[in-house]
Structures are given as structure tokens and as C-alpha cells.
A and B are shown apart, each in its own frame.
Chain A
Amino acid sequence: MSIDTDTAARVAKLARIKVEPEALPALAQEFNTILGFIEQLNEVDVEGVEPMTSVEPMRLKRREDVVTEGGQQDKILANAPDAREGFFAVPKVVE
């Protein structure tokens, strides 16, 4: 499996990271190095082996579906790059 610059561009897009076109060949090369390393996993016989979901056998706890620590609008917005009138502000999303 070899990654070309088109695939690298597609992955960057999916990850929402802007990559300049001139940086794509080097990025594709790095992906190939890392994926080449990962390919070793194909040597392992995993027939009938369950994919691990939890490293210790435990059932995740559930809590009551109720508000626990609500009413903290000021704190929630305190670190926002742009907050106005009690909302997070972003560029126009819907035309």
C-alpha cells in the first residue's frame, strides 16, 4: 500500500489540517515510512481473535441521565477565542 500526494491531500482534508501543496510529497513519504512499519502487523495470525475494547475486563459505569453540573455558561465561554451574548461565535455557517 503506497500513499500518493492525492491520498495525502485527502487525509489532510479529512483531518481538517491545511497542508500547502508543495508540502504534500514529503508528507506522503512520511506516511509511507510509518505505514511500512505498521505493515508488519500483517504477519500476525489474528484469525478468531477479538479486537480489544477494554484493557481490563470492566463494565463501564452508567449514571442517571440528568444534569449534573449545569448553569456554568460564563465558565464554559471563558476560554473562547470569540464569545458573544452567551454564545461561541464562528464565521457564518449557513448562507
Chain B
Amino acid sequence: MTDLNTLKIAEARDALRKGEVTSVELTEACLKAIEGAKALNAFVHDTPEIAMEQARAADARNAPDAPSLNGIPLGIKDLFCTKGVPSQAASFILNGFKPEYESTVTQNLFDAGAVMLGKLNMDEFAMGSSNETSTYGNAVNPWRRGNDDTALTPGGSSGGSASAVAADLCLGATGTDTGGSIRQPAAFVGITGIKPTYGRCSRWGIIAFASSLDQAGPMAKDVRDTAIMLNAMCSHDPKDSTSADIPVPDFEAALTGDIRGKTIGIPREYRMDGMPEEIDALWTRGKEMLRDAGAKIVDISLPHTKYALPAYYVIAPAEASSNLARYDGVRYGHRARLAQGDGITEMYEKTRAEGFGKEVQRRVMVGTYVLSAGFYDAYYNRARRVRTLIKKDFEDAFAQGVDAILTPATPSAAFGLGEMAEADPVQMYLNDVFTVTVNLAGLPGIAVPTGIDRQGLPLGLQLIGRPYEEGDLLNTAYALETAAGFVAKPAKWW
């Protein structure tokens, strides 16, 4: 039998149900893989005791009708609060924080029988596109450019999740996506990741970045696995007032692969100046694959696309400055050592200067500025008006009969760690140019690996669906995945 940690969730589930493998064996294989992959810096808090205990419990309840993820070993992004286990959003300001409660999404996964292997690296407070803002140091992409040993980014903010799934350290992982933080890293490492409709997954117990944009979602080895995980993660939750009170359908059952008669929109505004030829060619091939599968391809216009990133960089920092006000050195995490005579204001200022990294400080201050007296209308309210227009662009496209929209997932393949160090912050923000519109409009979006570039790195395409139509979106993604036949894996060097 192949190494158990390389199994997909669906394969492992079927083998577990047939009694061909135990969760303890699967979990041990993953723990061994994690032990041997320190160079990737993907797992930052290992929880082997919890994992083995959950695995033994899963084996004890194993039956043909066991819950959907019974005995499946997963990694959990450090943004999720997990009871008694460090949960610090990759920030020094939450150093030592061990929640007394469990996030709704992780509780849902445990209720479905899942096993937690540990916590995964990420950008600090999910602010970043390269996992370089983490207090734990960079996570590393298991992929390399041919024989070149330059360390590449796994993307961000869910970089540890991406790296861990691509390197077969776990069968699947949780991610969160505020501007592209599931889809961009998934594309950078050749895996599948979906951000569901805003409100599908409860945000309760997920450390907040920008509350009107944040959504959790699964990152896994193929579309079917993301469908299985997503089913377990979604629920209506009274503890999150924006949680959608609508039934969660069986997403896996939606995967028929039949997309005949579906209409796929190609937005002309996503053809960016200076877009690499390989990305353009991949997009064209994606179009052809969906057409060959029986879909109708139509050109559409999303006229306000250009303004999505600037609107995002008002709204997200504004919400972050408000959300992150709670880190004051009083109730949890780091408190600065105070000098003689320091009062409470000095305590706040020193704690936040020591506890927050540079990018987080920058965004909190930008958010403070755009919300400050005299600028609130000019920046924050204007950005919220533009957001209304961005959402209307999508509504108009869907009203014309478009079922899903096909775009590139990222403007490039994975770049080298440190390569953007000298660039100004806006250059890094451009990574999210194709994904951020989806968060602003609250829509579901999925990244599917579809090709390999000349340097041997994976490239992904993004499909965007109608609100709450994740089943249909996953099915279109399944048809794209089947046609693309992407099976490449990174050569093991770690």
C-alpha cells in the first residue's frame, strides 16, 4: 500500500470504512511525515497526543455509517481557536494564548470525527500573501523551480495549510480567506481550496481580521475532498450573527461532472496589463476544457474590477484596526515590560509595538487613519459605496444567466521568499488582484490546479459561483479538474 499520508480524504474514508486501515495508522503516518518536514515550517504547534486520542476514539466508533470525516487527520490554521492548544494567529501579541473554548468550525470537524494533527503557520493575523509576516518564520513551498533550490513562498495567508497539504503532511487543512488567503496559496502549491459564500462557515472562534470579509474554507488534494470537508465545516451558528440560516446541501453528491448547458462567463477586465503569457494561455486552455465539457462560454464585463483592491485596502484595514483594538495587554497574550512611572497608555503603546509585526502595525494605522474624523467619508464610506458597485457587477452577470465565472487564480506562479522584501507594500497587495473581488461581493470562489509552468511550478484557475451555490460551483470545478488531469506532486527534498 502507498504511504498512508498521501491518501486523499475520500480514499482514506473508504478504506477506513472497509476496515483496510485504521485511523491510528493514518495518524501515525502523518505525524511521521510532519516530523520529517521541519524544513517546511508548516506545522508550528504539534498536537500528537490529541491526535492519537482522537484517532483511537475514531477507530472505536468506526462503522459504515460513521461520520463523514471519521478518523481523517487534518491540520488546523493557527487562526482557529482550539481549546487548550496555542492559537495565536502567528502573532507575538498572542504568545502563550490557549483558548478556553473551541471555534465552531473546528468543533464541527471534530463532531464529524476528524483528527487534529496540530496548528499551521500563516501570515500574522492573516495579513499577507507570502507567509512572511509570521512570528514563527516563513512557511516554505514544497515545490521548487526545477533543480534550483531557491526557497519559494507557499503563498498566504494560509501558507502553512497549503504547504502541509501539498507535502502530504495531512489529508486536508482548514484555511481562511479575507482577500484570497485560501485560493492564492492553493494555486501556489497545486492543491484545491474553496472560500464558501460569506456566512456559510461560522466565524465564531476564528481570530478576526476583517469581519465583513473573513470566511473559513477547506484546502485539500482535490475537489471531492474539499466538498467533503466543506460539508462538515458549514453550519448555522447562533454565536455568529452573520451566519447564514439556510440548509447545507450534500456538496459531494453535487459532483456529477456534468456541466452541459452551463454558462461560464469570462470577465474581460481580468486580462491585466503585463499578465504573464503562461497565465493567459492557462486561462484560454481552461475555457476550452469547459467548452469541451459542454458549457457555453460567454464574454462578460465586471466594470469595477480595477477598484476592488483599493476598496479592499480601505475596508480591510478599517475593520482590522477595530478588531485588533482588543490586543491591549490586559486580557490575554503579551504585555510589555513597563518602565518606572509608565501608566496604562504606555502599557498599550509598548505592548502593541512589541506584539504586532510591521505589516500588522501598518494596516492597523492605515485603518485608524481612514476611520479618523474628517476622512471617514472620503475613504471609508467611499470604499463601501464602491463595494456596492463591485457586488452589482456580479449580480448583473448572474442576471444574464451566467452560472460561474472563470479567471486566473493568481497573477504569477509562486515567487521566492524574500524576493518582495524591497518592494513597496502595494506590490505585495497585487497578488490578490483576481481573488479580492470575490470577498468584497461575498461570493464562493474555488482555486483548481490546472497546469505547470516552464519552471515546473503549479498554476491554478479560479471559478466564482453564485451565492450559496457551492454545490454547483464545486461540480464545475470537478469538470475542470477532470479535464485538466493535474496529478503532479513536488519532488521531495525536505
Question: Contact residues of A with B, CB < 8 Å?
Answer: 3, 8, 11-12, 14-19, 27, 30-31, 33-35, 37-44, 46, 49-56, 58, 60-61, 63, 72, 75-76, 78-82, 88, 90-93
Q: A41-B383, A63-B238 are in contact. Are A17 and B365 (CB under 8 A)?
A: yes
CB pair B384–A52 under 8 Å, yes or no, is: yes
User: Taking the complex as formed, is B332 at the interface, i.e. its CB lies under 8 A from any CB of chain A?
Assistant: yes
The distance in angstroms between the C-alpha atoms of A42 and B98, with both chains bound, is: 44
Bound-state CA distance A76–B332 (Å) is: 9
Which of A38, A40, A54 meets B242, CB within 8 Å?
A: A54
Q: Which of A46, A56, A91 contacts B197 (CB 8 A)?
A: A56
Interface flag for B147 (CB, 8 Å): no
CB neighbours of B328 from chain A (8 A):
16
Contacts of B146 in A (CB 8 A): none
B368 adjacent to A81 (CB under 8 Å): no
Shortest B53–chain A CB gap in Å is 22
CB contact under 8 A between A80 and B331, given known A34-B426, A52-B384? yes
Whether A17 touches B364, Cβ cut-off 8 Å, given contacts A11-B372, A55-B391, is yes
- Contact check: which of A16, A43, A44, A61 meets B345 at CB < 8 Å? A16
Contacts of B356 in A (CB 8 A): 17
Contacts of A90 in B (CB 8 A): 330, 344, 347
Q: Which of B100, B333, B366 contacts A78 (CB 8 A)?
A: B100
Known: A37-B310, A38-B310, A81-B335. A17 touches B352 (CB 8 A): yes
CA A46 – CA B333 in complex, angstroms? 42
Q: Which of B19-70 contact A (CB under 8 A)?
A: none
Q: Is B313 part of the binding interface, using a Cβ–Cβ cutoff of 8 Å?
A: yes
Q: Which residue of B lies closest to A46 (CB)?
A: B385
Q: Could you tell me the distance between the alpha carbons of A35 and B311 in the complex, rounded to whole angstroms?
A: 11
Inter-chain contact B386/A41, CB cutoff 8 Å: yes
A49 pairs with B365, CB closer than 8 A: no
Which residue on B lies nearest to A83, using beta carbons? B331
A91-B347 contact, Cβ under 8 Å, with A18-B353, A34-B425, A40-B307: yes
Query: Are the CB atoms of A18 and B362 closer together than 8 Å?
Result: no
Known: A11-B368, A33-B425, A37-B313. A91 touches B97 (CB 8 A): no
In the complex, chain B residues 255-300 whose Cβ is within 8 Å of any chain A Cβ? none
Q: Interface digits, B382-405 against A, CB 8 Å rule (1 contact, 0 not)? A: 111111110100000000000000
Q: Among A49, A52, A60, A79, point to the contact of B98 (Cβ < 8 A).
A: A79
Mark contacts of B417-452 with chain A using CB atoms, 8 A cut-off: 1 yes-contact digit, 0 otherwise. Answer: 000000011100100000000001110000000000
Contact A79 B333 (CB under 8 A): yes
- A18/B352 in contact, CB under 8 A: yes
Judge whether B388 and A49 touch: CB under 8 Å.
yes
Contact A60 B242 (CB under 8 A): yes
- Chain A residue, CB-CB nearest to B380: A51
- Inter-chain CA distance A27–B329, complex, in Å, is 24
Given contacts A39-B310, A81-B329, 4 further A-B pairs with CB under 8 A are A14-B368, A58-B244, A81-B334, A88-B330
| B321: Cβ under 8 A from any A Cβ | yes
8 A-B pairs with C-beta separation under 8 A: A15-B361, A33-B425, A38-B313, A44-B307, A49-B389, A51-B381, A79-B97, A92-B343
Tell me the number of A-to-B contacts counted with CB atoms below 8 Å.
165
B contact residues around A46 at 8 Å (CB): 382, 385-386, 389
Question: Contacts A38-B313, A93-B344 known; A52 to B391 CB distance under 8 Å?
Answer: yes
Chain A residues with CB under 8 Å of B383's CB are: 38, 41
Is the Cβ of B330 less than 8 Å from the Cβ of A80? yes
Q: Find A82's partner among B197, B335, B385 (CB 8 Å cutoff).
A: B335
B100 CB contacts on chain A under 8 angstroms: 72, 75-76, 78-79
Contacts of A56 in B (CB 8 A): 197-199, 244, 442, 467
Interface flag for B338 (CB, 8 Å): yes
A35 to B369, CA, bound (A): 10
Distance to closest chain A CB from B305 (angstroms)? 12
- Closest Cβ of chain B to A26, distance in Å, is 10
Interface pair B212/A55, CB less than 8 Å apart: yes
- CA A14 to CA B377, docked complex, whole Å: 18
- Is B145 interfacial (CB-CB < 8 Å)? no
* Residues of chain A contacted by B425 (CB below 8 angstroms): 30, 33-34
Question: A16 touches which one: B304, B348, B382 (CB < 8 A)?
Answer: B348
Question: Do A51 and B369 touch (CB < 8 A)?
Answer: no
Known: A49-B388, A51-B385. A15 touches B332 (CB 8 A): no
Q: Find chain A residues with CB under 8 A from B486 CB.
A: none
Contact across chains for A80 and B332 when beta carbons are under 8 A apart: yes
Interface residues of B in 332-375 (CB under 8 A from A): 332-335, 338, 342-350, 352-353, 356, 361-362, 364-366, 368-370, 372
**Contact between chains at A17 and B338 (CB < 8 Å):** no
Give every chain A residue within 8 A of B348 (Cβ-Cβ).
16
Interface residue B489 (Cβ < 8 Å from any Cβ of A): no
- In the complex, the chain A residue whose C-beta lies closest to that of B330 is A88
B241 at the interface (CB under 8 A from A): yes
The answer to the question of B11 belonging to the interface, with a C-beta cut-off of 8 Å to chain A, is: no
CB nearest neighbor in A for B317: A34
Cβ A41 vs Cβ B314 within 8 A? yes
Q: Give residues 58-103 of B contacting A (CB, 8 Å).
A: 96-100
- In the complex, what residues of A have CB within 8 A of residue B344's CB? 90-93
B379 within 8 A of A: yes
